[in-house]
A and B are shown apart, each in its own frame.
Chain A
Amino acid sequence: MMLEIKGLKVKLKEEDKQILKGVDLSIAPGTVHAIMGPNGSGKSTLSYVLSGKDGYEVTDGSAMLEGADLLDMDPEARAAAGLFLAFQYPVEIPGVGNMTFLRTAVNAQRKARGEAELSAGEFLKIVREKAKSLKIDADMLKRPVNVGFSGGEKKRNEILQMAMLEPKMCILDETDSGLDVDAMKLVAEGVNALRSKGRSFLVITHYQRLLDHIKPDVVHIMADGRIIKTGGPELALEVENNGYADILAEVA
């Protein structure tokens, strides 16, 4: 399996609040899974816990990336192992240029994997080409990371990072929210260009619209910290047409 999550239970570190109540999820290499679910059901929490954000405590269960224990690794080690999260709310970093940020990240990962760092010239060539296909202009590359970027620009910047880092397991947390129709197409094209046998995706979204462009193999419904239903692409259509009420009632 690319990603194998078993019985994952997570509470907040500071509060006695259980958020994930036993999540099971297996993602095979080369497949695209989607997660949908009501606000507050724990989708972002799952993505944060997988990428190693502080503030959460895993009380039970496991998460493995290609057989390696993710929960045992620092966030940077998870990234080097091939995990990538496109944030629901990308972070602004004043004072750090976007280009510097990208180059630092790419080279840090290459170093962690024992590969040679890219020269400034090589890096520039690759980044320009990928930025162009996402309609990210030179100015956005020069500016501090995400500072003053519009909502849609931030999301495209996430996809640019993903394209540069070439991860194996990509988690996209509501990358479609805040995107206009054209930007959505660009992002979907960016994702589809990365689809390959060895790379898997977990796409968190509220809307069928994105899934029209990025066709999922499997769709999960998450509610109250659990995956309550799993099906094919038709499940997303059902949610789009009827909302969650029927599904929630069905499992209750």
Chain B
Amino acid sequence: MALAKLKTDTTQARLAGLVLPKGAGWATAARADALARVQQMGLPTKRDEYWRYTDPASLTVAAAPEAAVFVNDETPLFDAVDRIKIVFVDGVFDADASDDLTGENVQIERLADAMARDIHWAKDLYGVLETRSQTPVERPLAALNTAMATDGVVIRATGDVARPINLIYLHADPKSDVALHNLVKVEAGATVTLLETGPAAARLSKVLEVDVADGGAFHHVRAQGRDHERRAVTHCFSRIGADSTFKSFTLTFNGVLTRNECVIEIVGNDAVAHVAGACVGDGGDFHHDDTVFVTHDALNGESRQVFKKVLRNGATGVFQGKILVKAGAQKTDGYQISQSLLLDDDSQFLAKPELEIYADDVACSHGSTSGAIDEDALFYLRSRGVPIDEARNLLTLSFLAEALDEIADAALAEDLRDRLEGWLSRHR
């Protein structure tokens, strides 16, 4: 069958010559398991239902397409925030550029160091949530990441971690092809904020596994960099316990291809999971895909998915979002909204919202819209003297506001809003 052959060929071409990195016994086993999963599932092709709107070819091809390094003189994001900086250049940890990996109520280690140790808590998390998330939908690129990744960080929060941890991903080599894998373990009652900023590489595969124990809180704010030619496939896998909070927000600028998958499993009662994103894209080369899967497997869970995309000059946005409410997950409150602001007729937004519910006492809603700038509002602003470009920006930012409002920390949100304003004033 042609379909099977395409998949097999794609997979074999990618895996040919791949040598798994060495590590401690458990790490070697985890990588070998992951590789076996990749071989068994096969890498995605554009014929796969889950990749219907996004062609994965440039993500699976053996030789990564190059991406020019985008030089700009912007001050680093979150510069004024007191944070622990951890720098990666083209996916390699840069100790000199990084702060000490120490902080109160938190242990931070380089993934490579953790994977070299025979006994380490990371053993129970590395590839574990990824594996759990392979059903009901397969995510072979995440398994490939688990097999290949050598760098990243492992973070264990044991209490209230006051300073956010900022992973800064610099891109310096137009040929870089990178797999990063991060683990975050939030112990019972602990709280941590993770910031991720920057384009990371010409082609990035990134996996983040987050285990939030009862009463824990994980806050995540990410800004994917402005490099125009970069590609990225990222996965966030999270399992959250009773009374816990998980909040993730992603802002995406530019890039030719971004696929962000977020898979959240609510396993404890009274937990809250919010995942949100805003993206701005200009031009026919821009393709951005948010793929989200939230599973409710406990009582009284609340989940929100809020995704907003601003698309112009032929840009493409994709949203595939699912809420799965398992039998017994009563009193689930699930909400999902995906919206695009199309600034011209050439841009397109493809959305596939899904609800699958096996409990009878739940409140779930979803909606998806595509629209243009409201001409009446634009005229109203102009009639008050606001110049047309400024008026458009104001309306565009107001469109994105609902997503940005998902960021709990006002200062972080303000930083991102400023960057968005800058982007909008450059792209008119």
Contact status of A76 and B395, CB under 8 A, knowing A53-B379, A95-B401: no
Assess whether B76 is interfacial by the CB under 8 Å rule: no
Assess whether B74 is interfacial by the CB under 8 Å rule: no
Q: Which of B374-405 contact A (CB under 8 A)?
A: 374-377, 379-388, 390-391, 394-395, 397-399, 401-402
Query: A76: which of B376, B387, B398, B402 is its contact (CB, 8 Å)?
Result: B387
How far apart are A105's CB and chain B's nearest CB, in angstroms? 4
How many chain B residues sit at the interface, stated as a range, is: 20 to 34
Interface stretch (choices A25-33, A79-87, A189-197): A79-87
Point out the residues of chain B lying under 8 angstroms from A104, CB to CB: 381, 386, 390, 394
Contact status A105-B385, CB under 8 Å: yes
Point out the residues of chain B lying under 8 angstroms from A52, CB to CB: 379, 382-383
Contact status B388-A96, CB under 8 Å: no
Contact status A76-B385, CB under 8 Å: yes
Point out the residues of chain B lying under 8 angstroms from A101, CB to CB: 381, 384, 394
Contact with B along A160-198 (1 / 0, CB 8 A): 010001000000000000000000000000000000000
Contact status B394-A108, CB under 8 Å: no
Contact with B along A72-98 (1 / 0, CB 8 A): 001110111000110100111111100
A51 to B395, CA, bound (A): 20
How many chain A residues sit at the interface, stated as a range, is: 20 to 34
Point out the residues of chain A lying under 8 angstroms from B385, CB to CB: 76, 79-80, 105, 108-109, 112, 165
Point out the residues of chain B lying under 8 angstroms from A94, CB to CB: 398
Query: B398: which of A90, A95, A105 is its contact (CB, 8 Å)?
Result: A95
Point out the residues of chain B lying under 8 angstroms from A108, CB to CB: 384-387, 390
Contact status of A74 and B382, CB under 8 A, knowing A93-B377, A95-B401, A108-B390: yes
Contact status of A96 and B383, CB under 8 A, knowing A74-B388, A91-B376, A108-B390: no
Point out the residues of chain B lying under 8 angstroms from A144, CB to CB: 398
A93 to B398, CA, bound (A): 8
User: Which of B384, B390, B391, B399 has the most CB atoms of chain A within a 10 A radius of its CB?
Assistant: B384
Contact status B388-A76, CB under 8 Å: yes
Residue numbers of A with Cβ under 8 A of B are 51-54, 74-76, 78-80, 84-85, 87, 90-96, 100-101, 104-105, 108-109, 112, 144, 161, 165
With A76-B383, A100-B394 already in contact, 6 other A-B pairs whose C-beta atoms are closer than 8 Å: A54-B379, A75-B383, A93-B398, A95-B399, A95-B401, A95-B402
Can you report 10 residue pairs joining A to B where beta carbons are below 8 Å apart?
A: A52-B379, A53-B383, A74-B382, A78-B383, A79-B383, A80-B385, A91-B377, A95-B395, A108-B386, A109-B384
